[in-house]
């Protein structure tokens, strides 16, 4: 299936879910560029960026400049479902600025928490690796000492005979 067929399938699936939506396609200049599908309903826009072999990036309304999509999905049906979800949510929330600011703040906090967890896990992994290295060194030293003791013991036995 070609890229344009995939976009058309996405457009049909969205139309079958929300009949009063209008869609427009922004085709790329190059073969590996992104296809954009904008879906408008009741004054709100959801956008799908389809990048061949990279999936469907779906964005709800009120995106910021240069930001990535809200979610990346692997197939047409999941992308169509997400578009519908964003547009329904936009209708329910409307243009309440406080709600959207809270949403931005919640997303910022979630990212900060995730970053903190990533850093902590990285530090723990390093501590664990360092500890393993120390223990391994100690084990090697002990093994060497045991071999020396065994060797010395065997030497003593031969002398006694």
Judge whether 23 and 29 are in contact, CB under 8 Å: no
For 107, 147, 148, the CA distances from 142, given in Å and listed in that order, are: 52, 9, 10
Distance (Å, rounded) from C-alpha 108 to C-alpha 157? 73
Q: How many residues bind other proteins (CB under 8 A)?
A: 32
Residues 73-102, one symbol each (x = binds other proteins by CB under 8 A, - = not), give: ----------------------------x-
Residues 29-68, one symbol each (x = binds other proteins by CB under 8 A, - = not), give: xx-xxx-x-x------x-x-x-------x-x--xxxxxxx
CA contacts within 13 A on the Cβ side of 80 = 19
Q: List residues binding other proteins (CB under 8 A).
A: 26, 28-30, 32-34, 36, 38, 45, 47, 49, 57, 59, 62-69, 72, 101, 104-105, 107-109, 111-112, 115
């Amino acid at each position: 299936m070609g890229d344009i067929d995939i976009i058309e399938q996405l457009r049909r699936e969205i139309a079958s879910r929300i009949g009063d939506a209008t869609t427009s396609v922004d085709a790329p200049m190059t073969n590996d560029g992104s296809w954009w599908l904008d879906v408008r309903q009741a004054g709100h826009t959801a956008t799908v960026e389809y990048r061949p072999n990279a999936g469907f990036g779906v964005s709800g309304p009120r995106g910021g400049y240069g930001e990535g999509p809200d979610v990346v999905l692997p197939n047409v049906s999941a992308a169509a479902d997400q578009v519908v979800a964003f547009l329904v949510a936009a209708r329910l929330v409307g243009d309440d600025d406080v709600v959207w600011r809270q949403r931005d703040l919640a997303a910022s906090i979630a990212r900060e928490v995730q970053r903190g967890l990533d850093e902590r896990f990285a530090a723990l992994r390093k501590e664990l690796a360092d500890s393993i290295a120390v223990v391994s060194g100690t084990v090697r030293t002990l093994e060497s000492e045991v071999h020396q003791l065994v060797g010395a013991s065997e030497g003593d036995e031969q002398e006694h005979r």
